[in-house]
Structure 1
Amino acid sequence: MIAQYANAQQPFGSIKGTVKTSDGKPGESVTITIQGTTRGTTVDQNGDFQLNRIKPGNYTLVTSLIGLSPQKQQITVKTGETLTVDIILSESSQRLQEVVITSGKVNKFTKQQSETVAKMPLLNLENPQVYTTVTKELLQDQLTVRYSDALKNVPGVIMQLENNNAGSTVTSRGFSTQSYLRNGVPGDVSSVTFDPINIETIEAIKGPSGALYGSSLISFGGLFNRVTKKPFDTFKGEIAYTGGGFGLSRFTADINTPLNADKTLLFRLNTGGHHEGSYQDAGFSSYVSVAPSLTYKIDDNTTLNIDGEYTNQKANNFYRIFVDGSYATGAHSPKDLNFDWNKRFIGDDITIRPKQANLFAQLDHKFSKQWSSRTNLSFLSGTEDGMSGYMVMTAHNDSLTRNMSYENYYNSYATDIQQNFNGDFHIGSMRNRLLTGLEFFSLSNRSNSTFTTFDKLNAANPGAAYTDLTAPALLSRVQTGPFSVSSSLQNTYSAYIQDVLNITDNFLAMASIRWDYFDNKGVKDASAGNIPDGAFHQSAFSPKFGLVYQVVPEKVSLFANYMNGFQNNSPGKQPDGTISSFKPSQANQWEAGAKFNVLGDKLSGSISYYDIKVKDILRSDYPARPDFTVQDGSQYSKGVEFQLISNPLRGFNVIAGYAYNSSQYKKVDPTLDGFRPGSAGPANLANLWLSYRLPEGSLKGFGLGFGGNYASKNAVINDSEDLFVLPSYTTLNASLSYEKSRYGITCKVDNLTDKKYWVGWVTTIPQMPARVSISGTIKF
């Protein structure tokens, strides 16, 4: 162990350091405590730890983990100084992993620090914004094979539309959103299915977050950020196969290796092949994903990371039914419809073929102990061709309309350049953390497509017409067009700054502001001579403020925030020929709550109340001038969220959440005002997962998992004329597993009680019945 001192004028002393295994790997999950006190912390995934506000004196620092021999070191903490301690464990990384797997002491379902949520290293207890982290350990425990299933662990989040785009459309705090961000920067513009093969964590960041993330890739309810796996400096890998009901067949591999002797060049490859059918009489998705990652440690202060993601997919398009005219006949629920939910009405030869090829580069450089730089470059490419469709059911006569589209091509390309500078320094006795950043984001689209209403048939008794919709029949129908050939280009230029000031050791303030300049070049239509239409530019400011007070230092904090988000609005042509310019719509959130991390990381979570008001929404000027558009609409969303992550007993881990949301159109349309938006989702949501793994004995490594989700009823059509409600539901899942250092076996049952339920946003989408899956993993 090596100890040294760095001057830092503070009223107390502090301790920080690193923990590494005997083979040089970070000692993640090891506990650091001060003997004879209640002070302690857990080593993070980088091997780092820190203890603040330590009274001057002589102490014994204990490094421990159940199953390992504790290591002790005598230390001296001095006033106004930071003691740095570097610890080398006697165990190897392989031995440490074995202990972590079987001991169950570590709260494996949580991470207490993030570099991307606030674009600076910040502990959860220091951040006035609420976020939930879904870890890879939780995904492995639940045998998660679909990205959308991972999001079921986030309080207040529910899938509204499962499709091939950005991991499904979900609702957060009453607003629909998707998962477009990767490691804090744009990470997807394609329509391929996300695969969790290279996910380290998923960060669900709550509330309007325009101050750091702008408007293009987030919603007023929040955003989702995928944090990907990184290479490390030892050879290691695992290969897994999963098979299950409805044609599930899945192969994955995760292989890591250094590429040179001094371990400055590291490589990791995550890859997988996935095929999945449907419980209906048609429907499938098949794809291959490859995600290589290369890390080059140029010197002690500079690191370059280069990542790639490629996916090639073929699928029968996602399933959507719009229900129309239900009120007139008293059909107010899917159960009231005369409809066979096991029929898909679109055959397997109607396919869509999306691809993506993305490249990411990140250069980190430390100028000094106080200042660092991060440069991000992203090049995103998505292509798609094929056939897809959706259906509209008119309840009063069981009529089902099949609407189909055909794409010769749909291409999306994006470039993102982001430069951040971070500072961590003192102003007198106050710690100050500063972020300044610049960003350029460019998105272009090109498409060549046509749309047709293929036919109408009786949903209850379709007869021979059921099989009329085939790929040759649709191609014959659309070959004469007309085809829409168009292109678009949007550029966004941004600058932002954020400051976190420790007014005292326990009380900190955060302030952020972003300026966005949105330059929409318009849409070029070949049929109109490729003359840009709808071009406009718009600028917006987005502020954010937050306060945190640690009632119990490093254990319990109270927080409050004000956050803003915005959405750009294009000019509109009025019926009298005039052009109206509109400003961005604004969402303003006030939130207050508490976060906690106590009992040595065994119990953590948060509870908060939020109030979001959206103003400057575009709406029809009804009843005075119903054909004119004005900008004075508003919408409210408020609620309570609670999350709990616990390790109450050795080997026993719990994650639970509950959310209540009240949303209302205030001034949008006379038929909607006062009602809950269909996109807001159910008012009440709950999630739970219990995991127990035997830590010792002859069955050591044997594990049980059980949990599920609850959603209250969801009015997907809710206004003065129509009311169509998806019923409330509770789904349960269970798993059995056996985990050893060299292999693992898991059996999972999804929808254990074979519950029949639906999700949707205006649409009605039946969900998968009970399915059994079995997975085997070999580790080396």
Structure 2
Amino acid sequence: MHRKLLLILQLTIILLVTYTGDSFSQTARGTVRGKVVTSKNEPAGNVSIGLEGTHYGTATNELGEFSFKAPAGSFTIIISYVGVQRVEVPVTVTAGQTTDVPQITINASMSQLSEVNVIASRANRFTSRISTDAAKIPLNALENSQSYTTITNGLLKEQQLFTVDDALRNAPGVQKMWDATGRAGDGGGYFTLRGFTVQSRLRNGVAGLVTNGVDAVNVEKIEIIKGPSATLFGSTLSSFGGLINRVTKKPYEAFGLEVGHTVGNYDLNRTSIDLNTPVTADGNVLFRLNSAYNYEGSFQNYGKNRTFALAPTLSIKASDRLSILLEAEMFYGRASAKPFFFFGSTPKEMGVTNAKQLNIDYKNAYLNDNVTQFSRSTNYFAQATYKISDKFTSQTIFSASNSFSDGANPYYYLMTDAAIFGNPALTGHNYIGRYDQSTADSKLKGIEVQENFNGDFKIGSVRNRFVVGLDLQHQNSHQVYFGNFYGIAPLNDPSFDYGAFNKQVVDATNAANPLTAANTYTYIYKTNTYSAYVSDVVNITEQLIASAGVRVDHYENKGTYNFDGVKQAEPFSQTAVSPKFGLIYQPIKDQLSLFANLQNGFVNPGLYTNANGDATVADLQNANQIEGGVKLGLFDGKLNGTISYYRIKLTNSLRAIPNSPVFAQEQDGTQTSKGFETEIIATPFNGLNVVAGFSYNDNKYTKGDPDVLGLRSNVAGSPYLANLYLSYRLPETLINGLGVGLGGNYASNNKVINSVSSGTLELSEYYLFNGSVFLDRSKYRFGLSVNNITNKHYFIGYTTVNPQRLRQFVLSASYKL
């Protein structure tokens, strides 16, 4: 493992030395600064711009602004697009001075901005400079004292990734634990981040619940905001490890159309459309529609998944001050369950320590794929932005989320033969118990109303950027779970009819066991959360930035009920205060930041049974993080990255009291999670882009149940994770738009069971490799990618063992107008 760390450090040093050498070779330089807009005077973001005949250049940010250094002399700024007359602007660079270029207007549609023929060097196309959601204030990464990772739509397209879950392989420190279950309320994929579980629950910074895997057809970028983040996002949507926020595509002012089709092995078939059009001649009303239908089989003998996504968006510019955005996002799915292997007997009882010893047939689904579950999630979003003045803006947001599921969700218990047959004389573990945890018309509905007042003003020479917000979140849950036993099956028997576990058997079993309060497990409740928060980012000097924020959160639980409507727990309420602090110092302004933060997260655990057998309202669980590190934006945006160290302490964890006859708990647990993360997004030379990350996490219980004291949490994931992607596009003088990509992921051993009484069960480390070749032109795009090139057999798990997809070929074609 030390050799792996050394190799990563060596690669980082090589990159830094390469850039440093280039930087020192040009000492007499000045700065070129300006702004690029479209013909409708809209900011032209992510436009590559440079000096003709040189490798000096950069890309505009989301506001259309650019700034880069170049040697002294007279040059011509070039912006060139396929099918559009190129823009040429003369500029004279003076050493040690900043040259302001007059505003540049390009006669191109927003859809054409991605089709750039660059005459000079381009910045890395996998970076996103400004986030409006990560701090609820528009800040670039070097001004934000919190770590976050952005995965751009450009990276998803190049790697031919179609879901948010798959895209997260590009985020350092993030590891998938479970594939999506399709269950209302918690159906999205489960991941671990900084030692704690996290799901994709936010959309454009507010609630956007999902029931299944999230199709990425409407995703502009994905933001992984790291560490406890309750101050700005509350406790319902974020976790102690952080949160996942998907930023959706928005309409633009010209007509655009892209239609694509994808095929692959395992019966993959996918059709997608991205349609954009102005509704009115003046461009004040714009419409965009993104949609995709996806069908995929399984690498196992049974399994299929059908999904449909529909996402219409309407943008209205009501006046110079008022703009309105209306969005809908609808996901529908029907899928057979992916095998999840739980432990009915402990690893210690089974005499195993690694998943390889379990004799699981990797390509066997152990059931018929006509046993399916239907899932649906819909999100409706409305935003009104009003410009009060040049300094202040009001933003009013309404979000309604609805998730629904109905159907069977089988899973399996790994057990000793002695336990399976009730015969202590038997040895081995050659069978599984087949169960399901189905949902019956389960629903989780959420409404969020949020009002934000943003300001950007100076008090004397001190710049303040602040947000004051009010937030109401309402949840109405009617989640109904039930289960049945479907007998035992051998783990490896070619003569056994595994497909006999089918829809007919499930339907007959359900009909014979009508639902009652006695055989259902329910989450039936209503909650309201009322919150107020404030955060201010203060430029004490141009290079020293401080930030502070606080949230006051009042949570109301209206009581919980069983299937028959009988109250099971009384209502209760709690009030929490969540602070955050941050500090940024930039030794090299807008290029190098030293940052530190104190972040807080909390959870309302609800009611538990204490040692006396009484129902008790649990105290708030609190997580406090200390983090520090370095952020890079060097060499005109060609070397970007974050290196950070963090320490999170969680208090007031609940734990079971051993041998309690009433399942009593005690709230005295403490858990510490600490580690470091490194992320590099770089352009070492024209055409080559690098996305790389490495993380280490040390997670253990420091106080509480002796059964796990001092041990790593069994949901913390692998201690070591790494990701790498190299992308190279040939010079346009050879074959315009032709490129190749190669990358992969590493995960160290993962202890999914880890206690004194149960023993330890590890999932082995794995290396995954992926590659792609693509031709991206103004009117069309072709791509061929291969995932899991080496056909690696590997498992993921969340106290479980779950086999993952084998090698897959994906061929895509799209046509663009």
Q: Shift of residue 580 of structure 1?
A: 2.8
SS in 2 for 1:599: helix
- Residue 608 (str. 1) matches residue 638 (str. 2): no
- From 664, 674, 682, the equivalent of 2:718 is 682
Residue aligning to 1:458: 490
Residue aligning to 1:764: 801
Residue aligning to 1:205: 225
- From 445, 459, 465, the equivalent of 1:413 is 445
Equivalent-residue separation in structure 2 for 1:598 and 1:232 (angstroms): 31
How does 1:172-571 map onto structure 2 within 5 Å? Answer: 172-188=193-209, 190-323=210-343, 324-395=345-416, 396-461=428-493, 463-464=495-496, 466-479=498-511, 480-484=513-517, 487-527=524-564, 529-531=565-567, 533-571=569-607
Asked if structure 1 preserves the Cα contact closer than 8 Å seen for 2:467 and 2:535, the reply is: yes
- From 646, 668, 690, the equivalent of 1:632 is 668
- From 41, 52, 59, the equivalent of 1:42 is 59
Equivalent-residue separation in structure 2 for 1:478 and 1:557 (angstroms): 60
Q: Shift of residue 732 of structure 1?
A: 0.2
Q: Shift of residue 74 of structure 1?
A: 7.9
- CA displacement 1:275-303 (0-9 Å, x = unmatched): 01101011111011100000000111211
Asked if structure 1 preserves the Cα contact closer than 8 Å seen for 2:386 and 2:393, the reply is: yes
Asked if structure 2 preserves the Cα contact closer than 8 Å seen for 1:104 and 1:695, the reply is: no
How does 1:714-729 map onto structure 2 within 5 Å? Answer: 714-721=750-757, 722-729=759-766
- CA displacement 1:224-255 (0-9 Å, x = unmatched): 00000000001111111010010110001101
Q: Shift of residue 419 of structure 1?
A: 0.3
Alpha-carbon spacing, 1:423–1:275, altered in 2? closer, same or farther (3 Å): same
- CA displacement 1:308-328 (0-9 Å, x = unmatched): 011221111232111333223
Asked if structure 1 preserves the Cα contact closer than 8 Å seen for 2:50 and 2:120, the reply is: no
- From 103, 124, 129, the equivalent of 1:86 is 103
SS in 2 for 1:397: coil
Residue aligning to 1:5: none
Alpha-carbon spacing, 1:516–1:408, altered in 2? closer, same or farther (3 Å): same
- CA displacement 1:30-61 (0-9 Å, x = unmatched): 467899xx998631234245799xxxxx9999
Q: Shift of residue 93 of structure 1?
A: 5.5
Q: Name the stretch that deviates more: 550-559 or 313-322.
A: 313-322
Alpha-carbon spacing, 1:517–1:137, altered in 2? closer, same or farther (3 Å): same
Q: Shift of residue 432 of structure 1?
A: 0.7
- From 683, 698, 703, the equivalent of 1:662 is 698
Letter in 1 for 2:475: L
Q: Shift of residue 62 of structure 1?
A: 7.3
Equivalent-residue separation in structure 2 for 1:193 and 1:625 (angstroms): 39
Equivalent-residue separation in structure 2 for 1:91 and 1:442 (angstroms): 44
Alpha-carbon spacing, 1:603–1:742, altered in 2? closer, same or farther (3 Å): same
Equivalent-residue separation in structure 1 for 2:588 and 2:652 (angstroms): 41
Equivalent-residue separation in structure 1 for 2:597 and 2:526 (angstroms): 35
Asked if structure 2 preserves the Cα contact closer than 8 Å seen for 1:712 and 1:727, the reply is: yes
Q: Shift of residue 723 of structure 1?
A: 1.2
Residue aligning to 1:156: 173
Equivalent-residue separation in structure 2 for 1:141 and 1:209 (angstroms): 31
Letter in 2 for 1:461: D
Q: Shift of residue 583 of structure 1?
A: 1.4
Residue aligning to 1:697: 733
Equivalent-residue separation in structure 2 for 1:160 and 1:540 (angstroms): 30
- Residue 647 (str. 1) matches residue 647 (str. 2): no
Equivalent-residue separation in structure 1 for 2:631 and 2:56 (angstroms): 18
Alpha-carbon spacing, 1:15–1:543, altered in 2? closer, same or farther (3 Å): farther
SS in 2 for 1:180: strand
Q: Name the stretch that deviates more: 579-588 or 419-428.
A: 579-588
- From 779, 783, 788, the equivalent of 1:751 is 788
Alpha-carbon spacing, 1:575–1:131, altered in 2? closer, same or farther (3 Å): closer
Q: Shift of residue 625 of structure 1?
A: 10
SS in 1 for 2:167: helix
Residue aligning to 2:19: none
Asked if structure 2 preserves the Cα contact closer than 8 Å seen for 1:103 and 1:695, the reply is: no
- CA displacement 1:57-108 (0-9 Å, x = unmatched): x9999754578554146899xx9x9989532136665765432589772311
Alpha-carbon spacing, 1:699–1:17, altered in 2? closer, same or farther (3 Å): closer
Asked if structure 1 preserves the Cα contact closer than 8 Å seen for 2:549 and 2:579, the reply is: yes
Q: Name the stretch that deviates more: 203-212 or 347-356.
A: 347-356
Letter in 1 for 2:722: A
Asked if structure 1 preserves the Cα contact closer than 8 Å seen for 2:67 and 2:636, the reply is: no
Letter in 2 for 1:714: N
Residue aligning to 2:154: 137
Asked if structure 1 preserves the Cα contact closer than 8 Å seen for 2:121 and 2:686, the reply is: yes
- CA displacement 1:518-538 (0-9 Å, x = unmatched): 1111212243x5335242111
Asked if structure 1 preserves the Cα contact closer than 8 Å seen for 2:368 and 2:500, the reply is: no
Alpha-carbon spacing, 1:390–1:696, altered in 2? closer, same or farther (3 Å): same
SS in 2 for 1:211: helix
Asked if structure 1 preserves the Cα contact closer than 8 Å seen for 2:698 and 2:719, the reply is: yes
- CA displacement 1:672-703 (0-9 Å, x = unmatched): 11111111000000000011111223422111
Normalised TM-score (structure 2): 0.88
SS in 2 for 1:477: helix
Q: Shift of residue 488 of structure 1?
A: 1.3
User: Could you say what the CA RMSD is over the residues aligned between the two structures, in angstroms?
Assistant: 3.0
Letter in 2 for 1:476: A
Q: Shift of residue 19 of structure 1?
A: 1.1
Q: Shift of residue 543 of structure 1?
A: 0.5
Asked if structure 2 preserves the Cα contact closer than 8 Å seen for 1:198 and 1:291, the reply is: yes
Equivalent-residue separation in structure 2 for 1:327 and 1:200 (angstroms): 47
- Residue 171 (str. 1) matches residue 204 (str. 2): no
Letter in 1 for 2:442: Y
Equivalent-residue separation in structure 2 for 1:30 and 1:241 (angstroms): 27
- Residue 598 (str. 1) matches residue 634 (str. 2): yes
Residue aligning to 1:108: 125
Equivalent-residue separation in structure 1 for 2:284 and 2:477 (angstroms): 39
Residue aligning to 2:18: none
- CA displacement 1:684-741 (0-9 Å, x = unmatched): 0000001111122342211101000000010111111311110000000011111111
Q: Shift of residue 630 of structure 1?
A: 2.5
Letter in 2 for 1:524: Y
Equivalent-residue separation in structure 1 for 2:353 and 2:46 (angstroms): 51
Alpha-carbon spacing, 1:120–1:41, altered in 2? closer, same or farther (3 Å): farther
Q: Shift of residue 167 of structure 1?
A: 4.3
- Give the unaligned 5+ runs of structure 2: 1-30, 417-427
- CA displacement 1:750-775 (0-9 Å, x = unmatched): 00011111111111111111111100
| Identity rate, percent | 36
Alpha-carbon spacing, 1:34–1:216, altered in 2? closer, same or farther (3 Å): same
